[in-house]
Amino acid sequence: SLSALLIVQLLLDHYSSPRNVGSMNKQDTDVGTGLVGAPACGDVMKLQIKVDPKDNTISDVKFKTFGCGSAIASSSYLTELVRGMTLEDAGKIRNTEIARELCLPPVKLHCSMLAEDAIKSAISNYYTKNPKTTATDLSGT
Ligand code: FES
Ligand code: FES
């Protein structure tokens, strides 16, 4: 069908021209770094977010993935998804959403899991470096 074709094009597009590849200085206090591995295959993904402390939103995002095409496409898609999101919303992204958008086959589900793990790990690294701006503080409790 046409929509299946469009989904395959989205996957191929993120695979052949990944968005937001690169890295940031992980020493910067406004940068959170996530480095995760997939036990199933040994692939590794590094994802970094720059956070605007005024409203706790992600102002920039970069990744490097040493892995398969599905992992690269998943991380590329994720970077476009989380730009401009609050840390709270970005932390709620599930790998199943990514897998559904990119139409990954079941055997490639763990590749999208790498992207979910990476954004969670980047967020938690940011909170570790900026303990004053945790979600609890923002909600005023
Ligand atoms: Fe790692 Fe796919 S198994 S590249
Ligand atoms: Fe390992 Fe895709 S096969 S991340």
Distance 135 CA to ligand 1 centre (A): 35
Which pLDDT belongs to residue 54? 94
Percent of the chain with pLDDT over 70: 91
Is residue 111 annotated as part of the catalytic site, yes or no? yes
Atom of ligand 2 nearest to the CA of 110: 4
Phi-psi region of 123 (alpha: psi -120 to 50; beta: other; left: phi over 0): alpha
What is the average per-residue pLDDT within 50-74? 95
Domains annotated for the chain, with CATH where assigned, are 2-130 (3.90.1010.10)
Q: How far apart are CA 46 and CA 102, in angstroms?
A: 20
Is residue 103 annotated as part of the catalytic site, yes or no? no
Which pLDDT belongs to residue 141? 47
**Residue 32 reports pLDDT greater than 80:** yes
Whether residue 68 has its Cβ less than 6 Å from ligand 1: yes
Q: How far apart are CA 132 and CA 40, in angstroms?
A: 36
Distance 49 CA to ligand 1 centre (A): 24
Distance 26 CA to ligand 2 centre (A): 25
Which pLDDT belongs to residue 7? 73
Joined together, the tokens standing for residue 34 give 């996530």
**38-59: pLDDT as tens digits:** 888 889 999 999 999 999 999 9
**79-121: pLDDT as tens digits:** 999 999 999 999 999 999 999 999 999 999 999 999 999 999 9
Nearest one of 85, 66, 73, 82 to 18, comparing CA atoms = 73
